[in-house]
A = this chain, B = another copy of it.
Amino acid sequence: MIPFKLSEELIAQVEQLIEEKKDTVLLELLEELHYADLAEIIDELNLDEATYIIKLLDSEKTSDILTEVDDDIREKILENLSAKEIAEEIDELDTDDAADIISELPEERKQEVISELEDKEHAKEIVELLRYDEDSAGGLMAKELVKVNENWNVLTCVKEMRKQAEEVTRVHSIYVVDDDDILKGRLSLKDLLTTSTRTNISDVYIPKVDYVNVGDKAEDVAKVMSKYDLEAIPVVDEMKRLVGRITIDDIVDVIREEAEKDYQLAAGITQDVEADDSIWQLTRARLPWLFLGLLGGIGAAAIMEGFDKMLESYSILFFFTPLIAAMAGNVGVQSSAIIVQGLANDDIKGSINNRLWKEMLLAMLNGIALAIILFIVVAIWKNDPIAALAISASLVVVIIVAGIIGTFIPLFLDKRGIDPAIATGPFITTSNDIFGILIYFLIAKLIIGI
């Protein structure tokens, strides 16, 4: 396959054709492209051009495009469309995508669009999905699925399935329910095709079926599906009634978003921002963490001032504060990152004490190795073994403390039900800077004896 590659020439060509209103040529050019590629093109156009294309192409294609374009761009395009036009797009979408788009609309627009939906059954299902939290199984699931009643025979089942399958893009499993819609099990396509048509479903279905509850967290659904290698999972309500189905492609998005969020938090960025977001959005995501760093720095300055008697004879101690702060920060980030990742993967078992012991041992080994190098450098450079000893001995202690703090804080936050990912990045570096510098001067003072 020659992968689609967005080029400036293509964008220029599309813009030219829009300007000259050459609709036939434009349609010919765009028709061949996948909706995900079209979304990339639209992301690069200005609002009027984007709206022009959305109105030009038919809604079967544009509805899919809308699900793929950037959030900000979708918001603006939808503002340019009438409620009826939006409803036409929504009518083409599966219930999960439809609900996602409607939920982004302003409250009164929502009502308008819903009342314009043509397929009332579809509308009812979308409204149901709007009730669920977007980070829950209910928020991820679609209503489209293939289900059969345990009391049917294979013949009825095949007939009904054909009807249902029309609406379902990909059939992963056929779910079996009872008269009350309660999930009983699943059927394999293979069994269905090789069984006599008069057999009862209740005699052939597999009663063992994985499922999630409608209120389960999206993150947990992702864990279950990827652990058990599932491509789709049914969702049940509090009464175990089958209410929807989640497919693996939605889970791929959840996994990506989770990873990006953790990555951004580790880098000191809140909220879900992208390189192309506005300066204002980026500032809101970054400034609070920088402010935290500023406070930490002022704290560190205050601590250093408290030790200013050492300035005269041991000014070298002050030259090494950035080193101490950097090492404390680095070790803290390393140990917290390993714990945060382990927690995310459910890999952290056993007691907190064992973890802390292990990290302490590890930090001690690393600290001693680094301290030996530092001692040699400073002793030779300054010809002052006492200062060299003071600096390198306190480096060992600082590294051990930083490792323990980096291990303990995410574990503690996790136990308290707080996302441990906030403990990586600026939070840990700032607190480790302060503790590191304080410990450093205290130990140095002890060794030097001033």
- A-side residues, CB < 8 A to B, are 1, 3, 6, 34, 36, 44, 165, 170-171, 189-190, 210-213, 220, 224, 226-229, 231, 248-249, 251-253, 255-256, 259-260, 262-264, 266-269, 273-276, 279, 282-283, 286-287, 289-291, 293-294, 296-298, 300-302, 304-305, 308, 311, 315-316, 318-327, 329-331, 333-334, 336-339, 341-342, 345, 347-349, 355, 358, 361-362, 365-366, 369-370, 373-374, 377, 399, 424-426, 429-430, 433, 437
Contact = CB atoms under 8 A, between A and B. Distances in A.
A339 B369 CA distance: 34
A325 B330 CA distance: 13
A290 B324 contact: no
A366 B287 contact: yes
Contacts of A430: 326
A165 to B, nearest CB: 7
A279 B334 contact: no
Interface centre among A171, A229, A294, by most chain B C-beta atoms within 10 angstroms, is A229
A275 B36 CA distance: 38
A290 B323 contact: no
Number of copies: 2
A263 B337 contact: yes
16 contacts: A1-B210, A6-B349, A44-B349, A231-B231, A268-B330, A268-B334, A279-B358, A283-B365, A290-B330, A293-B323, A294-B370, A298-B323, A300-B323, A301-B323, A305-B319, A322-B437
Contacts of A224: 1, 3
Contacts of A248: 231, 248-249, 252
A176 B130 CA distance: 41
Contact of A326 (B6, B213, B297, B374): B297
B322 A433 contact: yes
A8 to B, nearest CB: 9
Given A267-B334, A269-B334, A349-B44, A374 B274 contact: no
Contacts of A333: 267-268, 425
A294 B263 contact: no
A1 to B, nearest CB: 5
A358 B338 CA distance: 33
A170 B264 CA distance: 36
A335 to B, nearest CB: 9
Contacts of A399: 290
A296 B224 CA distance: 44
B319 A322 contact: no
A289 B268 CA distance: 20
A275 B339 contact: yes
B341 A322 contact: no
Contacts of A304: 318-319, 322
Given A283-B362, A294-B373, A315-B308, A289 B322 contact: no
A220 B304 CA distance: 51
Contacts of A36: 227-229
B263 A329 contact: no
Interface centre among A311, A327, A341, by most chain B C-beta atoms within 10 angstroms, is A341
